[in-house]
Chains A and B, each alone.
Chain A
Amino acid sequence: MPAARRPEVTAAPGREARPFAEAVPSRGAIRIENVVKVYGGRSGAVTAVDGCSLDIAAGEIFMVVGPSGCGKTTLLNAVAGFHDISAGRITLDGQVLCDGTHPQAPRGPDRVVVFQNGALFPWQTNLENVIFGPVMQRKLSKRDATDKAMDMMADAGLSGIEHSYPAEVSSGVRRRVEIVRALMNDPKVLLLDEPYRALDALTKSVMHEALLRIYYKNKVTIFFITHDLEEALFLGHKVAVMTTRPCRPKTILTVDIPHPRDYSVLTSKRFRELTRETSAAVHEEALKAFQSGEREG
């Protein structure tokens, strides 16, 4: 296997450069225990999630792979607090987010979501978007928030577009801005709902490396939903392959390719082995979904 390249860690003036190996994550561990979610639709009850249990370690990149409409977004929404759950329990660092007595988790800046179609506010500039969180929560003054934002955006390679509107930059850039907007709040967990779905394959691979670079600096727990197995294996520490509705983990595997990773991993032997191991399972579920005519979301 080719030697992994150490990612460049550049320091903005006034900030210490911390190589990733020294950062110790201690928060953001999620436990999903036997969660059930039933929707009462017009055509009757639909069980989106049934008895799903997942364990996500703090500081881990946890990928959830499954065919469209299988219910994985429901899981993310439950963790984020957008839906309630019908049964089961979800805890964050030991504290209960939602359970039988409080079926809906509170929404908050400890678990920030990056949305599938992007949710940067079109009526604010990129910079205004990025400082939105800390300013709204009154954690930072506007000036301090702007300074921090400029730093983080520069780190993420986003200098120069701060005063443009989201519509004026490419979708790849928009995604990165949205991720920086999320990270400005120092969240415990970053919830990503198929953020790169709409991007072309070339942009995607660049985005992956960019995400990893950001991760190595920030060590936040990442809960990432995708239908792209390759994306999952490239990014994740752990990959959970989910069944079609009702959603449950079919297999969970640990990706033992060491971090830091770069695109050369994609052609490595171990990567190909892992792909072979898991693609059969993924394909089986995809076929089931196709046959039952699953619709989006």
Chain B
Amino acid sequence: MLTGFGLFLGGWYLAVEVWRLPRFAEMPGLTVVVKEWLSKDPTYGLSLYTPEYYQHIGRSVWRVAQAFTLATVFGVPLGLFLGWSRRFRDHVFPVFELLRPIPVLAWVPLAIVMFVASESAVIYLAFLASFFATALNAMLGVKSIDESYLRAAECLGASRSQVFRHVILPGALPFIFTGLQISVGVAWFSLVAAEMVSGQYGLGYVINTSYSMVRYPTIIIGMITLGVVGYLTSAMVRVVGDLLMQWRVRELALRGQA
């Protein structure tokens, strides 16, 4: 398993610092980046030991957290209703589908115009991407529920709202959580772009300014940090999902053994 990493890192090291391939002339080498990242007094100002590093991480994470929470709070109920009520879907889905193809980043200028504070604009952009992914997956989740479950619940005397709470909601949960994992990734995607274009602080901003200030090793540090943080947030969502869906975990475990 580690061979992959080894090859990649090895290749990087060799290409930049040993063979000095022409293409890689300006690229920061592996050792340079690692030294910078771990140094107590980094040349370019950012390393594991500088508080600014964590400030930037914190800022980006906080933005994603806000965007993700808003997207979940609005997206899940919307998606569930879209899947459940024909009438609601007729009214709302066309609008939804008209707005969805517009790439989130195409909203950047308009968002800057509409939102007075650039912070809100950035969060709005991350929110938008997240929102569509969450709502769509919630809707698919409802549609994926086997009709027999709904019929069974009705046979057993459940009212419409009871069916929603006890069948639709738990039944759609697996899809919802897949959607949430995707939505976290998408939120990061949009956030980084938004930070690169407009904003202060944040990992996207770091990467951007590091480039213009010719602090190349910091670019790589930023990228790696993004990868790690992105992975962790996604894993967190997955863990929460597993906690809420004990039955599925057990079922999958059984199937794995079967």
Partners in one complex: yes
User: Chain A: residues with CB nearer than 8 A to chain B?
Assistant: 80-82, 107-109, 111-113, 115, 117-119, 121-124, 132-133, 136-137, 165, 167-168, 181-182, 185
Q: Told that A107-B154, A112-B156, A124-B247 touch, could you supply 6 new A-B pairs with CB distance under 8 A?
A: A107-B151, A121-B166, A132-B158, A136-B158, A136-B159, A185-B156
Residues of chain A with a CB closer than 8 A to B251's CB: 122, 165, 167-168
In the complex, are the beta carbons of A121 and B149 less than 8 A apart? yes
Determine which of A82, A123, A132 lies in contact with B156 in the assembled complex, contact meaning CB atoms within 8 Å. Answer: A132
Decide yes or no whether B35 CB sits under 8 A from chain A: no
Among the stretches B106-114, B167-175, B222-230, the one at the interface with A is B167-175
4 closest A-B pairs by beta carbon, nearest first, are A133-B156, A167-B251, A119-B152, A137-B157
Interface SS of chain A: helix, strand, loop or mixed? loop
CA distance A108 to B154 in the complex (A): 6
Decide yes or no whether B1 CB sits under 8 A from chain A: no
B124 to chain A, nearest CB (A): 35
A68 to chain B, nearest CB (A): 18
Determine which of B153, B154, B166, B247 lies in contact with A122 in the assembled complex, contact meaning CB atoms within 8 Å. Answer: B247
In the complex, are the beta carbons of B148 and A119 less than 8 A apart? yes
Determine which of B149, B247, B248, B254 lies in contact with A119 in the assembled complex, contact meaning CB atoms within 8 Å. Answer: B149
Decide yes or no whether B245 CB sits under 8 A from chain A: yes
Q: In the complex, which of the residues B152, B156, B246 has the most CB atoms of chain A within 10 Å of its own CB atom? A: B156
Residues of chain B with a CB closer than 8 A to A115's CB: 148, 151-152
Interface SS of chain B: helix, strand, loop or mixed? helix
Residues of chain A with a CB closer than 8 A to B146's CB: 117, 119
Our count of residue pairs bridging A and B at CB distance below 8 angstroms stands at: 80
Q: 26 A-B contacts, Cβ less than 8 Å apart?
A: A108-B154, A108-B157, A109-B155, A112-B155, A113-B151, A113-B155, A115-B151, A117-B146, A119-B148, A119-B151, A122-B248, A123-B171, A123-B173, A123-B247, A123-B248, A132-B153, A132-B156, A133-B157, A136-B153, A137-B157, A167-B247, A167-B250, A167-B254, A168-B254, A181-B156, A185-B157
Q: In the complex, which of the residues B155, B158, B166 has the most CB atoms of chain A within 10 Å of its own CB atom? A: B155
A110 to chain B, nearest CB (A): 9
A30 to chain B, nearest CB (A): 16
Known: A113-B152, A167-B251, A168-B250. A121 touches B159 (CB 8 A): no
Residues of chain B with a CB closer than 8 A to A82's CB: 151
In the complex, are the beta carbons of B250 and A132 less than 8 A apart? no
In the complex, are the beta carbons of B157 and A165 less than 8 A apart? no
In the complex, are the beta carbons of B148 and A132 less than 8 A apart? no
Residues of chain A with a CB closer than 8 A to B66's CB: none
Interface residues of B in 72-125 (CB under 8 A from A): none
CA distance A112 to B151 in the complex (A): 10
Decide yes or no whether B55 CB sits under 8 A from chain A: no
CA distance A104 to B16 in the complex (A): 75
Decide yes or no whether B31 CB sits under 8 A from chain A: no
Interface size on B, residues (CB 8 A): 25
CA distance A160 to B110 in the complex (A): 62
Q: Mark B17-38, 1 if CB is under 8 A from A, else 0.
A: 0000000000000000000000
CA distance A28 to B66 in the complex (A): 57
CA distance A128 to B155 in the complex (A): 16
CA distance A113 to B153 in the complex (A): 10
CA distance A108 to B171 in the complex (A): 21
In the complex, are the beta carbons of B167 and A121 less than 8 A apart? yes
CA distance A115 to B146 in the complex (A): 12
Residues of chain B with a CB closer than 8 A to A111's CB: 155
Q: In the complex, which of the residues A82, A111, A117, A181 has the most CB atoms of chain B within 10 Å of its own CB atom? A: A82
B258 to chain A, nearest CB (A): 11
A258 to chain B, nearest CB (A): 32
Known: A123-B170, A123-B173, A136-B162. A107 touches B155 (CB 8 A): yes
Interface residues of B in 181-233 (CB under 8 A from A): none
A44 to chain B, nearest CB (A): 24
Residues of chain B with a CB closer than 8 A to A137's CB: 156-158
Closest residue on chain B to residue A82 by CB atoms: B151
Q: In the complex, which of the residues A121, A123, A181 has the most CB atoms of chain B within 10 Å of its own CB atom? A: A123
Determine which of B148, B153, B166, B167 lies in contact with A117 in the assembled complex, contact meaning CB atoms within 8 Å. Answer: B148
CA distance A59 to B153 in the complex (A): 24
Determine which of B149, B155, B159, B173 lies in contact with A80 in the assembled complex, contact meaning CB atoms within 8 Å. Answer: B155
In the complex, are the beta carbons of A121 and B157 less than 8 A apart? no
In the complex, are the beta carbons of B155 and A108 less than 8 A apart? yes
In the complex, are the beta carbons of A121 and B254 less than 8 A apart? no
Q: Mark B230-258, 1 if CB is under 8 A from A, else 0.
A: 00000000000000011110110010000
Residues of chain B with a CB closer than 8 A to A168's CB: 250-251, 254
A267 to chain B, nearest CB (A): 35
Residues of chain A with a CB closer than 8 A to B149's CB: 119, 121
Residues of chain A with a CB closer than 8 A to B148's CB: 115, 117-119
CA distance A123 to B155 in the complex (A): 18
CA distance A94 to B154 in the complex (A): 23
In the complex, are the beta carbons of B250 and A165 less than 8 A apart? yes
CA distance A108 to B156 in the complex (A): 6
CA distance A165 to B247 in the complex (A): 6
